[in-house]
Amino acid sequence: MPQPVQQALVELSGATKQYQLGGAGILALDNVGLRIDAGEFVAVWGPSGSGKSTLCNLIGLIDSPSAGSVSFRGADAALMSDDQRSTMRNRSIGFVFQGFNLVPVLSALENVMLPLQIGGASAQAAKAAARLRLEQVGLGGQMAQRPAKLSGGQQQRVAIARALVAGPVLVVADEPTANLDTANAVLIIDLMREISRREGTTFVFSTHDDRLLARVDRKVMLRDGCIADDVRQERADYRMRVYS
């Protein structure tokens, strides 16, 4: 008997996004079709202005297409209310940004606790979950430090822990290594990949750095708002690095 077709985690069909800048229309994405399944580790790459951030915003339900559709777990995002989309993001999607977006007056632990506390979790439960995630990213000894006392790579690991603390099925990372040197960029990608392997979390991250592409399972190349290439490659198993 034929095997049933697995439901896509995220699916874009004819997704187009146009922005108005003054009196001119800027076409950021043009008729994009893309399916992402659970557990994939995907790099969206291409030059600046190719539409990477726009695509990440659609995948993460932060933005809506001007035309076409985006579905998450089979549900059409266009049919969701703003509150439903917000709930979906809070419960199922984690975000990592190139600027880290940490609250400077909070410790690493408090930054990671924040999404759970906003969602109504008790301080005790939020602290326990945040501690576990910080230990998993190698920052068990820096939990009390504020962001200014941490290196760029450490700050991005705090941001990854925060994105994961609520147990999302999908993490969207927009240029997560843009502000890091090559060594730290590789550490961050390897860390995300290890978590994806271990927990089955789907990761989609954008990058303009083609040196990172050998470390992913799938490469989606954008050019001028269109998918120019979509390549799956064999999983390369790298030894997990020791973080300090």
Give the tens place of pLDDT for each residue, 39-75. Answer: 999 999 999 889 999 999 999 999 999 999 999 999 9
Check residue 20 and give its pLDDT.
85
Helix ranges restricted to H, 137-233:
152-164, 182-199
| Residue 82 located in a structural domain | yes
Check residue 240 and give its pLDDT.
42
Compute the C-alpha angle 213/219/220, nearest 5°: 135
Q: E strands along 134-181, which residues? A: 170-174
| Residue 202 located in a structural domain | yes
- Reported as a single tens digit per residue, the pLDDT across 199-236 is 999 999 999 888 889 999 999 999 999 999 999 987 65
| Residue 66 located in a structural domain | yes
CA 200 to chain centre: 14
| Residue 115 located in a structural domain | no
| Residue 132 located in a structural domain | no
Confidence of residue 243 (pLDDT cuts 50, 70, 90): very low
How many domains, in total, are found in the chain? 1
Domain containing 180 equals 10-101+170-232
| Residue 119 located in a structural domain | no
Check residue 130 and give its pLDDT.
97
Residue 119 scores a pLDDT above 90? no
Sequence-separated (6 or more) residues with CB below 8 Å from residue 213? 43, 45, 207, 219
Rounded CA-CA distance 46/171 in Å is: 20
Check residue 229 and give its pLDDT.
95
In Å, what is the CA distance from 58 to each residue of 28, 92, 184? 11, 15, 27
| Residue 51 located in a structural domain | yes
- Reported as a single tens digit per residue, the pLDDT across 70-115 is 999 999 999 999 999 998 998 899 999 888 999 999 999 999 999 9
